[in-house]
Each structure stands twice: as structure tokens, then as C-alpha cells.
Structure 1
């Protein structure tokens, strides 16, 4: 049972707002589903025209057209809009450059990795690098003497810097090549200059800089070393993370501005990314999790009411449908890319609030992963050959010294603290009416739907890591609370029940919920093994999901959960159903196992664990079902399956070792049951 790892698609604080991986590829399909075909040609023509106002109009038009419209974006992309906009970054008119940069930034956010990769391949970084010193110089002038700064200094420091930084942040997640190229720019001093001057600036560019720093410092030693090398940087981040939400001196800041909370959350995430902090310093004695992360993030995730947000979003969308539409795309008039109604602005605010919660959950997922990921999974006792005892002793010493994630002080986030997060997380995994795209149509407001589903998935990941930690390092007071375990179990099932099992194209987020959810169920079953019972329907759902799983990891999670559920002493019928299913995964003398090798090993280990105590009521199923003979018949093919594991493949050595241990345990278990001499 492994810890949830942060996925690229989930890491971005403001990810692709309109996921479209389910849409057909190609210009023909984009053209057939877009309602704005007639606007495409004028945009492309005017973007390369001689009139600067036309070029500016075309850049703004791109931003307007792609809002929540993946088909039109794909159509524009097919007409090389990315290349045309990159060319405009070297336009002779500053206003055209500003609008082109804004359009590229919006394409990054709405288009995701494909467009980011296209921008990188078309060498956008060469141009973006030239903007960094220019923005820095204007920022210095603006801060030192605002009245003598260039006339458009504020827009350059605010809007343009925001767009450049956001684009760099998105590009950094595109590929290792892009990340290495961005590392070579040495962005850390540039980005920290915005955080250091936060009291004199608008919140927007400061927030963009913090978001970029958060992504750059995530599993990226180059940025982490650069940040830790300067004590003032760390002091600045600590000051932000520990500050109260007081209004700053800069214009456009308000004590109730939710973005100030987001800034604090990002700062705590950056500090966690670069932990441990260098010694000797005052900052090095700060327990990031205990003193900063948990006190800051717990209120963030506990205060949000998702059903209320979904209801309000529904009201706003319904109201927008009744509002007169303002023409933004007129060829005769200068476009107003920033014109938004009060309803549109409130929808954006709701989305921003949801993204802050998602970010907090993402950071908490790391906090909850306080224990190492057992490479061999969680299973019954295994035997170790005498020749391996010395190596095992060494492993135990290493495990003792690496019980926490490298670089993090997680004493405060141990399994005695983690259960306090569970009530809030259970609330956040419950879907609302807008959480997932309808099965037959698209969402009424894709950005809200994407943000809500991201919160559900992140909260489920936190739960997965919490119960992994509790299963690996048991907390007696938690495991003794059988009623509490049943409550959590039922709420997770309630969530998955609303998500449903129709997981086709366009329903990728529902699939993610199930993949993580079965891991949570396994963790719960482990923590309350022997005291947690399941309904017949739940058993059948897990069996069907296991059979239909397309990957070994998910199948292993299902088998692991079933193994634990079979050990509820009074569930003799459920035990029989589960054991019968596990036996179908074993090889026979005439046919190999229908499951993959990892699933097979989990099934063998499960049967050994379930029937290791012959005094339990359900052991009658083992005797009356002739399971001993079935296990005996499987031994040779289990041995062959293990022998076929390639040690040279990634993880193959550990998998082979685990397989050999399970094979030996199977032989020993068979002998043990034979020696008992029990009859039906």
C-alpha cells in the first residue's frame, strides 16, 4: 500500500481549467465542435498585419476566444497561434507585446502541457529571458521613485510581470528539459524580489512569484539550494507564513483579500519543499509542520463549505445566462479583455478560493506521508532465510534512521496528530452537484467543476496517506474506536457511491477518485482489521473493480482491502465469497494465473494471512472448501511466476525478493495446515 505521490497533473495550483483529453484529436473535430470558426481567420491575419492596433486586437481576441472553450483553442493552435504570439513578443509596439504575453499566459493555463511543450519547442524561453532584467530594472525604479518611473511602469510591474512569471511556472512543469533550462536562468533572486517588496506591490505579481517558487522548489535541488543559500530569503518566507492577514501598504490589498491567505499557504509549501532549513540559524529550529504548516492549513480546509460554493456557482451561472451579452470581439472597436460582469468576477473569486483549499490539501498530502513507502506492501508475516539475516538487520537500522521523509521534521505530524484532520477531509471528499462533468453533457462551469474535483481527489490522497501511516505505525486509541472506523468507512463509500462507476471518456476525475479511494478503503481495513465488516454489496463492488482494473496497483489495493475484510470473525459468508475470489487468481496445473504477478502474490499472501489462525469461526470455509488442495496444486506455477520476474527491470529486484518470500511462506503454510490434521 503506497503513499500518494504528487502527480504532475495535480501539482499546478491553477491547472488546466477545461480538461479536454477526452476530446477527439485533429483540426476537423475541433472545427466541428467550435462555434467561433468565422473568427479564427481574421485573428491570424490581423496578428501579422501592419497596423499595431490590429495586432493588439488579435492578441486580446485570442484570450477572449479560448475562455472555457477547448475546441476553439485547439482550432487556433492548429493555425499556429502559439508561433504567431511568440513572434509578437518582439513587436515594436509595447502594447502588442503586453497583450501577446497575456494571451500566451492564458493559453498555458487553459491548454496545459501540450501547449506548454509547443511553446518550449518554439524557443519562447530565449525571449522570456530577456524580459527578466527589464522587469527587474523597472521594478527597482518603481519602488525607489514611483513618480519618476516610466509611464507604464505599474502595468509592467503588475500585469506583464504576472504573465511572464506564470508562463515560466507553467513551462517548468512541462518536462525536465524545460525545467533545466529555467533553472539556468537563476530565477530565485528575481522571484524573491517580489515577495520581499510585497508591502509596496499589488498582490497579483507577488502571488504569481510565490506560485512559481512553490513549483520550482518541488523536487528540484537547483532551486532549493539557491533559495536556502540566502538567509534573507528564508526569513522573508517565514515572515509571510507566520504573519496574520493584516492589510499591507500596497494598493489593491484588503484584509479580507483571500489571496493573502493563498500567499501564506504558498510560503509554507515553499518552506516545506526546502526543509531542512540550513544551520545554524534561527529558522533551523522551527518545526515547519508543527509550528507553521498544520496551524495554518487546518483552518483553511475546515472552513470551506463545498455544497454552499457549488450552490452559489450554480446561481451565478444561471444569472449569467439571463444577462445581456457584451460584444467583446468587435472588429471595429478596441476590445476590452478585462471587462467582466460582477457575476463573472464572483465566479473567479469562488474558483480562487477553491484553488487555495486544493493547494493546502496538496501540501497536507506530504505532511500526512510521514512514514516510508513499504516497497513490499503491507501483508502478513514473512520468513527470512538465514543467509539474509545480516542484510535484514542492516535494513532495520536504515529503516530506523529514515522513518521520516528525508529533509522533513515530521515529529509533529506523527499518527497521533493525523487523525485530527480526518473529519475535515471526509467533508471534502463528498461530491457536490458540480463536482464532476455530467456523463452525457459538459459542466455548466468547467473551472468550478475542475477545482471541486481536484479538491475531492487531493482530500482522498490525504486520507490515503493518513491511514497508511496509521496502519504502519498503529495508534491504539484509533484502532480501538471501532465505531469511528465504521463511520469513516461508510463516508468513504458514500463519496464513491456519488462518484459512480461510469468511468469513460471525459470522466477521468471520477476514475482518479476510485483509484485513490480503494487505497483509502485498504488503509481503513488494515487499521480496523478484525473489527470492520463490509456489506455484501461492498464486497462485490471491490471484486468487480479488481477484475476491471487496468493496472496492477489498483488491483493489489482491492485484493488487500478484501483480505482484511475477510478477517471479520462473524462474517463467515463474506469470508467465503472473498476466499473463492482469491482462489480464482491462483494458477492451476493446467493454466497460469489470470492476474498479473503482483496481484497473484497479493492473493497468495492474503489467503495465508486469512487462514493463519485455525481457531477463528470462518476457518470452516478453508476446510470445507478444499482450499488446502487448491493451494498445493498452485505451488509449482507460483514458483514459475516468481522465477519469471526480471530483476533488471525497475523495482524488479525487490519484487523478485518479495515473490520468493511469499513462495516460501506458501510452502510453509501448506505444511502447517497439513500438520494440524483438521477435518471438515
Structure 2
């Protein structure tokens, strides 16, 4: 059972704010679905104008046009808007440079990785690198003489810094090539200077610096080492998280813990976790980061919002906004539309920010819940000579004929993985996580009716999936850390959790193959892992429901991903071990046998096939259970004997060097299958 880890595409709190996978590919389809296509060409043309006002206007217009509008964004991409904006970063007019950076920042946020990759390939890092020392100089001057510096000038620099930092963080997750290039800029001192002066700077800019640090320290060892080795940096991060005083607003007035300040603290938790353990002499070396820092700061965030209430409020705000006549339309005869936002727009942004903070907290907690290492396979020396391979082939041949081996059942059953760690702290997370997996009316809109507010839909679906990933890791940890001293989990709790996960997946529905429904499919892919974890923790205590068994079997058959198939099989295995469910046990066992050679209707991928064979061994390892009658009367032993040759062949086909762990697992299952057959034959029943 694999752990859910932070995936590269999920690093950013906002991997794609306005998803466009539901749209047909190609510029022609984008043109057909865009209501602003007439404005595209004039904007691109005016970006090359000799008049700096027109160049500035065109940069601002790009930001206005792409807002919640993926079709228009695609049309602009087709006209090389990225290249044109990067050129404007070297413009002779400062205001044009500032607006170009803002437009590029918005394209990063709304467009996702494809646009970021395009920016990197078109050389955006060259002008960005020149901005770093200029921003640092201006920042130092403002901090030394903030009272004499014009407030408007400070605001411009802080917003420009925010835009540059945001672009850099988005580029950092585009590819390893981009990350390596950014490592050469030595951003850590620049970013930490914002955190060190957080009480004198706008919280939005400081938060962007923290976000960039969070991305840069995610399994990126040059940045990790630089932060770890500087005791002042780690002490600064620790002071943020141990302080009861939230970050001030830019003007120093008021200290309300708003969405941005809360996001800042969550990001600092993520950075601390990324760089831990911190070596002495830093004061952070004495702190248990997960127990003393991350959990106390992030547990309350999980209960920060009610998703159904938020969804309902967003729908009301959208209706209210639609009912208000639109103000000035974008026109070439006028300046770009005003940045003034209505109360409804501001409230929508506030709600989205809060949802994104919850999403970010879940991302960090997924790592906390995955602290248990994966079970290690036995160390084996690599065979470097072809003769060693031949020897193994000979062993396989011998195994085929040696079904009368003198192995006991104890020898076939792998030793249980245990850990001295007490997982009770993980259980306190389960209730709030279960609330966060339940979809709302805006979470998964059908293809035929796109979301009325795509950013909210994107955030909601990401929260559901993030909560499921946390639950997956929690139940995996509980299963693997099960010891005699572990807290006993009653069957009623298991049944409640089981039903809640199924309720969430039932709301998502099974129509996951249509364009734009990738999030639905991801819910099932992660959700079935949670089901396996829950079923494994409460193995034999969850009565199998006929409809749910059928859904799992159908998902297993339809899934193209071997990992999903394995999860389905693992879940079915646990359900089959409910002692009184004789009929369900028979249905599950016959389905598992249908995945084994030679009975399989088509070629079963190797890993799911091995999982099915292992499942059957576990289900029928105790002949005294009521459902064992199915094994005897159904002549399952004959079916297993007939499968040996196919299993051997599949194991032999696993590349020993490229798929080392799977090969070891395959050999173990093959040996167990032979021993199990011998054991059942020896029973004489």
C-alpha cells in the first residue's frame, strides 16, 4: 500500500487556478469559446508600440482578459504573448516593466505549468535575475528610512517584488532544469530578508517570499543545505511559528489574523518541515518539528472553514455579481478597466484565499502523516554476471516442480512490520479530514455545465483530494505500526469512517473519463487507497456490501493504472475476511481467481496479478473460518495449482535491475503460493 507523497504538480498551492482541461484542444476551439477574441490582436500590436502608454496599456489588458477565462488565455498564448511580455521586462519605461511583470505573474498563476515552461524556455530568468539586486537595494533604503520614502514608491516596489518572487516560485516547480537554474541565482538570502523584516513589510509580499522558500526547499538539497547551515535563518522561521503575534499589515495598523497572515504561518511550517532535521547549533535543532511546530499550528486550520457553507456563499456572491450591470468594457478607446473590485469580488477572493490556506495545510500534513518509512525489501546483492541470472532461472524451474516442499504456514506469512512510535496523535486528525473529503455543489461540476467560479472549484477539489491523501497515510501508518501497545480501534469507528469515505466517493460519481473530469478520477484513485487502509486496519470487522464489492471490482477491471488495480484488490481481500460473509467471500474470491492465469480473460498486469495471488493466500490461510467452505467446494486449490506456471512466467519477466522491488515481491508471492498449495494439500480437506 503506497503512501501519498507531495507530488511535483501539487507543490504549488495553486497549480492551475482556472483549469482548462474541459476545453477542446487547438486555437480554433479556443477562438470559438472566447468572448474577447476581437481584442487579442490589437493588444499584441500595441505591446510593440512606440508610445509607452500604449505598451503599458497592453500589459494591463492581458491581466484583465485572462481573468477566469482559459479560452482567451489560450488565444493570447497562440499570439506569443509570453515572448512579448518577456521583451517588455527590458523596456526603457519603468511602469511598462512593472505591468509586464504583473501580467506574467498572473499568467503563471492562472495558466499552470505549460505557460511556466514556455516562460523558462523563452529566457525569462535573464531579466528576472537583474531585478533581484535592485529590489534588495530599494528594500534596504525603505527599511532604513521608511518615514522619508514616499508611500506610493514603497507600494510599487513591494508589489513588483511580489510579482517577481511569484514568477520565480512558479518557475521553480516547472522542471528540474528550471530549478537548477534558479539555484544558481542564490535566492535564499534575498527571500529570508523579507521574513526577517516581516513586521515592516506588506504581508502579501512576505507570504510570497515564504511560498517561494517552501517550493525551493522541497527536496531541493542546495536550498535545504543553505537554510540549514544558517542558524539565523532557522531561528527566524522558528520565531514566526512560536510567536503569538501575527504579522502586521503593511501600515503597521491592526494585527488581525487574516487569510494572508495565516497562509504565511502555514508556509513557514512547510519550510521548517522541508529542512528538518536542523543541525546544531541552531535553536531549531532542539525542537520536534512535527509534534511541537507543525501539528499545533496546522490542526486548527483544518476546521477553519465549512466547505458546504463556503460553496453556498460563493454561489450567492456569483448571482449577486451577475445581477449588477457590468461597468466599463475593455475598449481600445479607453484605458484598461479599473482595478477597483466590487464587494462581491473581494469576498470571493477572501474565500478563495482561505480555501487555498486549508489546501496548503493539507499538503504539509500529508508529509507528516507519511513519516513512517516504506517497508524495506530484504537486501540482496546485485548479480553482475549472466551466470547468476541463469542460476535464478534454474531455481525457478525447480520451484515449478517442488509443490511438495516442507514449508509451514508460519514461514509463508511475512513478518509484521512494527514500530515503537505511538500513532495516537494521527487519530486526532481523522474527524476534521473526513469533513473535508465531502464534495459540495461546486466541487465537481459536470462537463456540460462548467463551474460558475472555476477558482473556487479548483480549490475545493484540491482540498478533497488533499484530505484523502492525509487519510491514506494515516491508515497506512496505523496498519504498519500496529503493536500490542497501540490504541485499540473499535469496529464502530471503523464502520463510520468506511461509510464516510464511501459517501464522498458516491457523491463524486463514476463518470470520470470525460474531459475536464480528471479531478473526479483522482478522487477515486486516492479514495480507493483510503478504503484499503481502513479495511486493513479493521480487517474482518467491516461487513462487505454487495454493491460496493461490485464497484470495486468494476473499478479494478476498468482502471488503466496498475496501482489503482492493486488498491482495489487489497480492499477486496480485507472485505472477504469478514467471517460471516460467505456469499460475498465467494464473489470476491472468484473475481480474484479471474485475474490469475490461465483463467484471466486478458493479460493481467504483473503487479495486480501478484496482489490477487497474495490476497487469496491471506483469505484462505485459516481453514477454520466459516467462509473456507468456498475454497473447498469451489475447488479453488485446483485453480491455484493451474496458475503456478503463469505466475512463474510473469515473475521471470520482471526486470531484476529496473524493477528490483517488484521482482523481490514477485519471488516472495511465487514462493508463498507454492508453499500455500502444499499446506492446503497437507490438510486433506
Within a 5 Å distance, the mapping from 1:561-600 to structure 2 comes to 561-588=571-598, 594-600=603-609
8 Å contact from structure 2 (residues 202, 249) kept in 1: no
Deviates further, 20-29 or 85-94: 20-29
Matched, 1:659 2:671: no
**Aligned counterpart, 1:264:** 265
Shift of 1:15: 2.3
**Aligned counterpart, 2:516:** 506
Shift of 1:329: 1.6
8 Å contact from structure 1 (residues 30, 72) kept in 2: yes
- Partner of 1:206, secondary structure, is helix
1:586-634 alpha-carbon deviations (Å, 9 max, x no partner): 1028x78631010110000001110010000000000110111111111
Shift of 1:248: 2.4
8 Å contact from structure 2 (residues 56, 96) kept in 1: yes
Distance (whole Å) between structure 1 residues aligned to residue 282 and residue 155 of structure 2: 38
**Aligned counterpart, 1:72:** 72
Aligned match for 1:675, one of 676, 679, 682? 682
**Aligned counterpart, 2:652:** 643
State the TM-score, normalized to the length of structure 2. 0.92
1:311-332 alpha-carbon deviations (Å, 9 max, x no partner): 1101100100001211252323
Matched, 1:284 2:294: no
Within a 5 Å distance, the mapping from 1:131-530 to structure 2 comes to 131-149=131-149, 153-246=153-246, 248=248, 250-251=250-251, 254-336=255-337, 338-374=339-375, 414-474=422-482, 479-503=488-512, 504-530=514-540
Shift of 1:255: 1.2
8 Å contact from structure 2 (residues 203, 247) kept in 1: no
Q: 1:376 to 1:548 in 2, by over 3 A?
A: farther
Shift of 1:204: 1.1
Matched, 1:542 2:543: no
Deviates further, 251-260 or 458-467: 251-260
State the TM-score, normalized to the length of structure 1. 0.92
Shift of 1:338: 2.1
Distance (whole Å) between structure 1 residues aligned to residue 358 and residue 310 of structure 2: 12
8 Å contact from structure 1 (residues 60, 337) kept in 2: no
Q: CA RMSD in A?
A: 2.2
8 Å contact from structure 2 (residues 88, 97) kept in 1: yes
Q: 5+ unaligned residues in a row in structure 2: which ranges?
A: 379-398, 406-410
Distance (whole Å) between structure 1 residues aligned to residue 282 and residue 237 of structure 2: 14
1:97-121 alpha-carbon deviations (Å, 9 max, x no partner): 1110000000001111111011001
Distance (whole Å) between structure 2 residues aligned to residue 201 and residue 137 of structure 1: 15
Q: 1:55 to 1:480 in 2, by over 3 A?
A: closer
Matched residues, number: 650
Distance (whole Å) between structure 1 residues aligned to residue 100 and residue 140 of structure 2: 24
8 Å contact from structure 1 (residues 135, 156) kept in 2: no
8 Å contact from structure 1 (residues 593, 600) kept in 2: no
Distance (whole Å) between structure 2 residues aligned to residue 281 and residue 146 of structure 1: 31
- Partner of 1:303, secondary structure, is coil
Distance (whole Å) between structure 2 residues aligned to residue 270 and residue 24 of structure 1: 38
Shift of 1:147: 4.5
- Partner of 2:303, secondary structure, is helix
